Chain A
Amino acid sequence: MNDPSQTHGTSIVFLVDDDEAIRTTLSRALSKRGFVVRTYETAQGFLDDYTGDEPGCLVLDYGMPGLNGLELQTHLIDHNIIIPIIFISGHGGIPETVQAMKAGAVDFLEKPFRQHVLVDCIKAAFVTDLNTRAAQQEIEATRKKFASLTTREQEIAQFMIDNPSNTASKEIGRALDISPRTVDHHRARVLEKMGTKSIAELVQILSTISG
């Protein structure tokens, strides 16, 4: 038995479509296949409900009255809410597809679509979403560790990120007007606090949170 819950944990399919028949049938079929499905009649309904914490993907009807699919996508990007979007459309026009894909949609399916195609898309979106979230969490952890550094330690860490080829104690000390010994001491503390074994690893980790 191919149960998606085993591979994707608590990932949820958020379905937004103004057509009730689509909502009903699609959610039922996907539920039968083991997906957790949550449906919304309007894009605004989804925005009101969704916090961004729940993993999953958005199956979004392209042409809706009021806030349409494309506008919802723009809104999410503007509010830094990252969730993979699979557009489903009765239009299926090339210009719309291009526009949606440019804005970061995972897929664009013309109604009616083969169920296995949708299921594959959803599964791929789940993986993408989980990966994105994991990366996000890692960055968040790094940021927290960095925040726990003292001001002097942060200065030294920042200098090393900015000048990855000049990480010698002497150079750093001259730049920050402190002795190389002090630099060595602080640097050892930084490596320890950030949980890294080498300066190279430290620079690599810190680069994910900078900029």
Chain B
Amino acid sequence: MKFSLATILAISLAGLQFVAILLVVTTSYVTSETAMLNHARGQLEKASQNTIEHTRGFLSPAREAADFISRIVENTLISTSNTAELEQFLFDYLQTAPDISGAFFGGEQGDFVYVTRLETDDIYQTKVVSIDGEIRTTKLIQRDPDFTIIDTWFDPNDTYDPRTRPWYQSARAERRHVWTDPYIFFSSQDPGITVASPVETKTGDLIGAVGIDIKIQSISEFLAGLELSENGAALILNRNGDIIAHPDPSQTQTTNDNGEQAFVNINTMENSIARAAFASDRADGANGEFKFGSDTYISALSPISIDGLPWTIATYAPENDFTQDIKDNRRRNTWIAAIVSICSAIVGVALSELILRPVRAFAVRTALVSQGEMSPQAPLPQTYRELERANATLIDEIAQRRESESKVQELKHDLSHAARVNMMGQMATGLAHELSQPLTAITQNVDAAISTAKHHGGQNDELLEILHELDDQAHRGGDIIRALRGFVRKDEGAVDPFDLDELVTQTFSLIRQEVKSHHVATTFDITDIPPIIGNRVQIAQVLVNLTRNAIEAMETAQSPNRAIHINATKKRGGVTVRVTDTGPGVAPNLDLFKRFETSKKDGMGLGLSICRTIVEVNGGRMWYDPDTGSFCFTLRT
């Protein structure tokens, strides 16, 4: 199947463009995607670090406060037994640290002072549990920021004993500051954490413990403000999977079966990305990458490592948040590639049309010229130099071929005419000769008869008349023969100098088919021969006759190697032409050139006779050379 130049050009241009653009788009996509993902991981890590720093910064005032208050108490600057002084101190401290929601002291005897900031109306509330022997009193005081008492009351039903609380027990056991697990503050129902610091005597006996409450809700607020990515999030998990900080604070708390507020546990969360990533039974996110729905997410887990807090910061973000733009870009670029390719194809078609138009005009012209509907000399359409050159060459070629073809055709026409004429001439000549003999004998006999009749005296006029009529009829026959001969003789053609080599070539191109079908090889040796003076058509007929004789002879004899060689040599005043074949030669007893004598089954015996007559009419001689088996004839130059 062959495509037109236009199609090839269009497809190539479009295809090349498409492949090139696609290649650029794909490679840039792959590299930029990798870069973006690396960047995203960096973002997650940075977010974790930020969170850690923030959390440390957020928690450390509480720890410092616990330690500071513990130190103050240990150094007996404030007496634990003076609850009013202790309350005042804690109140003052609380006012200077806005993040701290409560500060308290619990003693070994179960006594307890607790100052806390209420969420509403900037009011502080103090709870004092005093143990005096077996008597226990729980007093509650509400104050405004100026330490003025707003309200005070007792709660006889209170059973709170600090020594039973985890923070107290941990501090007592560890003898250093300890963090509790986050919990929901009883009073405010907010999530928070307590740091406790033991208070000891100089001798190392435990007096009690100082505790500081700090709400961790603001960590969630911080996480909410963290610009991780559009759909990304960071959250903080406790060791048991409780979500203690989440960008959406409401996600951290739930109501448990007992109707109490509790932390949401990651393992029991419903249908959330965070659960898919970080639940202990999945832990897909630990690998740095996980699937949720149809989206791919990247994730990171990093321990918080603050004061031995068993917290983990979990961050995740969908890949698309980072790569969506370049994905969009890729899609856009693919479309651009397609559009550019289509444009290229259109341009290619237009371009090829532009390029092809002259070529097509040239092709049309060539077709018209070859069909003979246009002259090769007609002006060339606007086209390319290469085509003009090709055209010039073609025109020359066509002209030459036409000329040589027409020469060959002319020769063919002349030859067939000449062959007929020569055949008729030879037959007429032969017939004339053969008939003239008996006619002559008749006229002689008539003459003798007339003489005899006259001699014997008896004047028989009737007999004489008959004899004269007989004589006339015989001569009439003679006249007819003469007329026929004269008629044929008229056509002897013009005598012009001609090139023998060219004539031989043309002649053989006429009988090429015959020569080929009999598997005869032909060779010519005709060089340096001056122009021949003679009738070229007649000489061509001699060549045709001799060649046909040779072919027939070789065919009849079934010669294995069949070749005809024609050579011409100069001699004084002329040229000798020899036609030699590889056939068996000629029987010696045959008078080759006699009319009506032949060795062929269906021959008339005129061929060689005609040849010799032609050669002689053209001023040459013809003979058979038995030594070389060649027919030879001379021509004038």
Closest B residue to A26 by CB, please name it.
B444
Closest B residue to A24 by CB, please name it.
B441
Inter-chain pairs besides A25-B445, A91-B429, A94-B489, 16 sampled, C-beta below 8 Å: A19-B437, A21-B437, A22-B441, A25-B441, A26-B441, A26-B444, A29-B451, A33-B447, A90-B433, A90-B436, A93-B489, A110-B478, A110-B482, A112-B439, A112-B474, A112-B477
Contacts of A95 in B (CB 8 A): 617
Complex: A90 Cα to B439 Cα, angstroms: 10
Partner of B451 from A19, A24, A33 at Cβ < 8 Å: A33
Closest beta carbon of chain B to A209's beta carbon, Å? 38
CB pair A90–B444 under 8 Å, yes or no, is: no
Partner of A115 from B447, B452, B455, B617 at Cβ < 8 Å: B447
CB pair A90–B475 under 8 Å, yes or no, is: no
Closest beta carbon of chain B to A188's beta carbon, Å? 58
CB pair B445–A113 under 8 Å, yes or no, is: no
Query: Among the interface residues B438, B444, B478, which one has the most CB atoms of the partner chain A within 10 A?
Result: B444
CB pair B432–A91 under 8 Å, yes or no, is: yes
Complex: A188 Cα to B455 Cα, angstroms: 60
A–B pairs, 12, beta carbons within 8 Å: A21-B437, A21-B438, A26-B440, A26-B444, A29-B451, A32-B451, A32-B455, A88-B440, A94-B489, A111-B478, A112-B436, A113-B440
Contacts of A92 in B (CB 8 A): 432, 482, 485
Interface residues of A in 86-119 (CB under 8 A from B): 88, 90-95, 110-115
Interface residues of B in 426-474 (CB under 8 A from A): 429, 432-434, 436-445, 447-448, 451-452, 455, 471, 474
Leading 9 A-B pairs by shortest Cβ distance: A32-B451, A25-B444, A90-B433, A111-B436, A90-B436, A29-B447, A29-B448, A21-B441, A112-B439
* Contact surface of A with B, Cβ cutoff 8 Å: 19, 21-22, 24-26, 28-29, 32-33, 63, 88, 90-95, 110-115
Query: Among the interface residues B438, B439, B448, B475, which one has the most CB atoms of the partner chain A within 10 A?
Result: B448
Complex: A29 Cα to B433 Cα, angstroms: 21
Closest beta carbon of chain A to B631's beta carbon, Å? 21
Instruction: Count how many pairs of residues, one from A and one from B, have CB atoms less than 8 Å apart in the complex.
Output: 76
Complex: A115 Cα to B437 Cα, angstroms: 15
Closest B residue to A28 by CB, please name it.
B448
CB pair B433–A63 under 8 Å, yes or no, is: yes
Contacts of A94 in B (CB 8 A): 489
Closest beta carbon of chain B to A16's beta carbon, Å? 14
Complex: A28 Cα to B445 Cα, angstroms: 8
CB pair A114–B475 under 8 Å, yes or no, is: yes
Interface residues of B in 484-517 (CB under 8 A from A): 485, 489
Complex: A29 Cα to B443 Cα, angstroms: 9
Query: Among the interface residues A63, A88, A110, which one has the most CB atoms of the partner chain B within 10 A?
Result: A110
Closest B residue to A115 by CB, please name it.
B447
CB pair B442–A112 under 8 Å, yes or no, is: yes
CB pair A110–B448 under 8 Å, yes or no, is: no
CB pair A32–B448 under 8 Å, yes or no, is: yes
Closest A residue to B443 by CB, please name it.
A112
CB pair A112–B447 under 8 Å, yes or no, is: no
Closest beta carbon of chain A to B475's beta carbon, Å? 6
Closest beta carbon of chain B to A25's beta carbon, Å? 3
Contacts of B452 in A (CB 8 A): 32
Complex: A32 Cα to B474 Cα, angstroms: 20
Closest A residue to B434 by CB, please name it.
A90
CB pair B444–A22 under 8 Å, yes or no, is: yes
Closest B residue to A116 by CB, please name it.
B447
Partner of A22 from B429, B437, B448, B471 at Cβ < 8 Å: B437
Closest beta carbon of chain A to B597's beta carbon, Å? 12
Closest B residue to A31 by CB, please name it.
B448
Closest B residue to A88 by CB, please name it.
B440
Partner of A90 from B432, B442, B447 at Cβ < 8 Å: B432
CB pair A115–B443 under 8 Å, yes or no, is: yes
With contacts A25-B448, A29-B448 taken as known, whether A110 is within 8 angstroms of B455 at the C-beta atoms is no
With contacts A21-B438, A29-B445, A63-B433 taken as known, whether A112 is within 8 angstroms of B475 at the C-beta atoms is yes
Complex: A92 Cα to B483 Cα, angstroms: 12
CB pair B451–A112 under 8 Å, yes or no, is: no
Contacts of B439 in A (CB 8 A): 111-112
Complex: A88 Cα to B440 Cα, angstroms: 10
CB pair A29–B478 under 8 Å, yes or no, is: no
Contacts of B436 in A (CB 8 A): 90, 110-112
Closest B residue to A96 by CB, please name it.
B616
Closest beta carbon of chain B to A189's beta carbon, Å? 55
Complex: A88 Cα to B441 Cα, angstroms: 13
Contacts of B471 in A (CB 8 A): 115
Interface residues of B in 570-619 (CB under 8 A from A): 617
CB pair A91–B440 under 8 Å, yes or no, is: no
Query: Among the interface residues A28, A33, A94, which one has the most CB atoms of the partner chain B within 10 A?
Result: A28
Closest A residue to B451 by CB, please name it.
A32
CB pair A111–B444 under 8 Å, yes or no, is: no
Closest beta carbon of chain B to A114's beta carbon, Å? 7
Contacts of A114 in B (CB 8 A): 443, 475
Contacts of B482 in A (CB 8 A): 92, 110
Contacts of B475 in A (CB 8 A): 112, 114
Complex: A90 Cα to B440 Cα, angstroms: 9
Complex: A193 Cα to B138 Cα, angstroms: 218
CB pair B437–A111 under 8 Å, yes or no, is: yes
Closest beta carbon of chain B to A24's beta carbon, Å? 8
Contacts of A93 in B (CB 8 A): 429, 489
Contacts of A29 in B (CB 8 A): 444-445, 447-448, 451
Contacts of B445 in A (CB 8 A): 25, 28-29
Contacts of A21 in B (CB 8 A): 437-438, 441
Contacts of A110 in B (CB 8 A): 436, 478, 482
Query: Among the interface residues A19, A25, A28, which one has the most CB atoms of the partner chain B within 10 A?
Result: A25
Complex: A28 Cα to B442 Cα, angstroms: 12
With contacts A63-B433, A90-B432, A114-B475 taken as known, whether A25 is within 8 angstroms of B451 at the C-beta atoms is no
Contacts of B444 in A (CB 8 A): 22, 25-26, 28-29, 115
Complex: A28 Cα to B474 Cα, angstroms: 18
Complex: A32 Cα to B442 Cα, angstroms: 15
Complex: A29 Cα to B436 Cα, angstroms: 17
Closest beta carbon of chain A to B614's beta carbon, Å? 13
Contacts of A113 in B (CB 8 A): 440, 443
Complex: A106 Cα to B140 Cα, angstroms: 187
Partner of A112 from B434, B478, B485, B617 at Cβ < 8 Å: B478
Contacts of A91 in B (CB 8 A): 429, 432-433
Complex: A113 Cα to B439 Cα, angstroms: 9
Partner of B440 from A28, A33, A63, A112 at Cβ < 8 Å: A112
Complex: A162 Cα to B444 Cα, angstroms: 55
Complex: A29 Cα to B448 Cα, angstroms: 4
Closest B residue to A20 by CB, please name it.
B441
Contacts of B442 in A (CB 8 A): 25, 112
Complex: A22 Cα to B474 Cα, angstroms: 14
Contacts of A24 in B (CB 8 A): 441
Contacts of A63 in B (CB 8 A): 433
CB pair A111–B448 under 8 Å, yes or no, is: no
Complex: A91 Cα to B485 Cα, angstroms: 9
Contacts of B477 in A (CB 8 A): 112
